[in-house]
Amino acid sequence: MTPDFYSRLPKAELHLHIEGSLEPELMFALSRRNRIAIPFASVDDIRAAYRFTDLQSFLDIYYAGAAVLQTEEDFHDLAAAYFDRAAADGVVHAEIFFDPQTHTHRGIPMGVVLDGLFAAIEGARSRHGMTVELILSYLRHLDEEDAFATLRAAEPWLDRIVGVGLDSSERGNPPAKFARVFAASRERGLKLCCHAGEEGPPAYIREALDLLAVDRIDHGNRALEDPALVARLARTAMTLTVCPLSNVALRNVDRIEDHPIDRMLDLGLRATVHSDDPAYFGGYIAENYRAVAEARRLSRDAVVTLARNSFLGAFLDDAALADHLARLDRFVAADVAAT
């Protein structure tokens, strides 16, 4: 594989928090534009703070950084910058999370957030030919009534939102806490996904499957501790959206050389690779592919399987899925012929 193989490889990004793509330079620029004080004197100071010991230490700075997002223009600029980077990394389909409660709790109207994001999505479609979907994530450290209020507030835009997710602090906030709001979301025609098995135990993955009836598991690494659960996930072809550099940054995996992505594939799991919160974790999607592929000495076929799985796990209709898979097959055929 050539050095640029990972960025040329057509792929889908299914686990990306748009607020987590807020680069220090943009954070600093928006703090000045909106006259929002942040506890950093420079871009270098911000980068120096990106040393995390666990998920919560990351979330503390993640939510502080989001405070600079105030206007429709801010949300547009944030997402547009991500789409430009993603296109350069070979992303042809993106399903991005946004956390409305992070903003509505600061007094930012839902419409301000969504209008900015939708404008950037239209730009990604026109400039890059990218297909894009938006996923509303509930914050699990808040209660279910707050999630219901968020679902009601999003009603006018639900025809432009593909699904809902569940993120934020996993420990002590099991999926079962949100069973009713997930059922209500399903009734509205939304797809369902849930962060589970990142820091939380394998039992949280089971809850997401049994009580939330999710279509996709975000992270899911700790399923490997439960052979029966692994067999179930493999049998049902449940997609796991794995984030290697995030796993290392948040100390869920000690080193990238220890990452279990190849074990997941060997066990028949539909594992995929994504960047999670790339501004904070040191790399966008192509860098995640490159880092884990080189560390685990993945074959070209294994890397292509990760990309293929990303399309198979996406919330695409049959025609769009076929188009993306055909594009991937053409790329692989041309790359093989050239080597």
Task: Taking residues 139-153, report their average pLDDT.
Answer: 97
Q: Point out the annotated binding site.
A: 15, 17, 195, 276-277
What is the residue-wise DSSP string for 66-135? Answer: HTT--SHHHHHHHHHHHHHHHHHTTEEEEEEEE-HHHHHTTT--HHHHHHHHHHHHHHHHHHH--EEEEE
| Percentage of residues in the chain having pLDDT higher than 90 | 87
Q: Domain of 135?
A: 5-338
Confidence band of 288 (pLDDT split at 50, 70, 90):
very high
User: What are the pLDDT digits (tens) for 197-250?
Assistant: 999 999 999 999 999 999 999 999 999 999 999 999 999 999 999 999 999 999
Confidence grade of residue 23 (pLDDT, cut at 50, 70, 90): very high
Q: Which residues are annotated as a binding site for substrate?
A: 277
Query: What is the pLDDT at residue 269?
Result: 98
Active-site annotation holder among 13, 170, 198, 287: 198
Phi, psi of 112 (to 5 degrees): -65, -45
pLDDT > 70 fraction of the chain, expressed in percent and rounded: 100
> Residues of 33-44 as b/e, b for ≥16 C-beta within 10 angstroms?
eeeeebebeeee
Does residue 50 register a pLDDT over 90? no
The answer to whether the beta carbons of residues 196 and 15 sit under 8 Å apart is no
Per-residue model confidence (pLDDT) at position 330: 97
Q: In the structure encoding, which two tokens stand for residue 5, read together?
A: 């193989």
The per-residue pLDDT for range 258-271, each reduced to its tens digit, is 999 999 999 999 99
Active site residue 198: yes
CATH of the domain at 202: 3.20.20.140
**Domain total of the chain:** 1
